[in-house]
Amino acid sequence: MTKKTEVKLDEIKLLILDIDGVLTDGNFHISDNGIENKSFNALDGHGIRLWKRAGLKVAFLSGRGSKAVELRAEQLDVDFVYLDCRRKMEAFETILKEAGLSAEQVCFIGDDLMDLPVMRRVAFPAAVSNAVDEVKERALYISKRSGGNGAVREVVEYILKDTGKWQKVIERYLE
């Protein structure tokens, strides 16, 4: 499900992602020895690579810390990684300063109540299909796919196609 928006998507330069429930399905797998494992979707990972290939920046912003997320961020060459953030707005402001961008140049994808403060500030707030109602109400775009199952890729494609950048980033696959 999508919502129509008047946002000029070609002004979006930074994609900020919540992790648990957006980039993952929100489940935590903890072994008997206390090791936490997360599952990431390949479509989402490739979507992030396509986003970066378009010359855009990406950030991870999560209330939880995780070695698995740090490793995934490294694999995907994520520009900004803020984990274990109890107050996401403080980290959000820091990301904006580091990126040299304004909130009007940001898309944020969230799923739960703690994402609402950031969603209220950005130009293009998006939600995964299985987000809580309050997040969906604030979102200008609601993915058809659920968190951890290609929702990030869906939002990336929506923006890149709307801004005319899609064809260029996929040229190498069409030759």
127 touches 136 (CB < 8 A) = yes
Alpha-carbon distance of 81 to 16, in angstroms, equals 10
Least confident of 26-35, 92-101, 152-161: 26-35
Rounded to two decimals, the pTM is 0.94
Alpha-carbon distance of 163 to 175, in angstroms, equals 22
Q: Return the pLDDT at 1.
A: 47
Least confident of 64-68, 70-74, 165-169: 64-68
Tokens describing residue 118: 């950031």
Q: Could you say which architecture CATH assigns to the domain 9-174? A: 3-Layer(aba) Sandwich (3.40)
Encode 89-127: b = buried (16+ Cβ within 10 Å), e = exposed: eebbeebbeebebeeebbbbbbbbebbbebbebbbbbbb
Domain boundaries along the sequence of the chain: 9-174
Alpha-carbon distance of 107 to 21, in angstroms, equals 17
pLDDT digits 0-9 by tens, 115-149? 999 999 999 999 999 999 999 999 999 999 999 99
Alpha-carbon distance of 18 to 55, in angstroms, equals 21
pLDDT digits 0-9 by tens, 5-62? 578 899 999 999 999 999 999 888 888 988 888 899 999 999 999 999 999 999 999 9
- List, in sequence order, every residue forming a beta bridge with 15; answer none if it has no partner: 58, 107
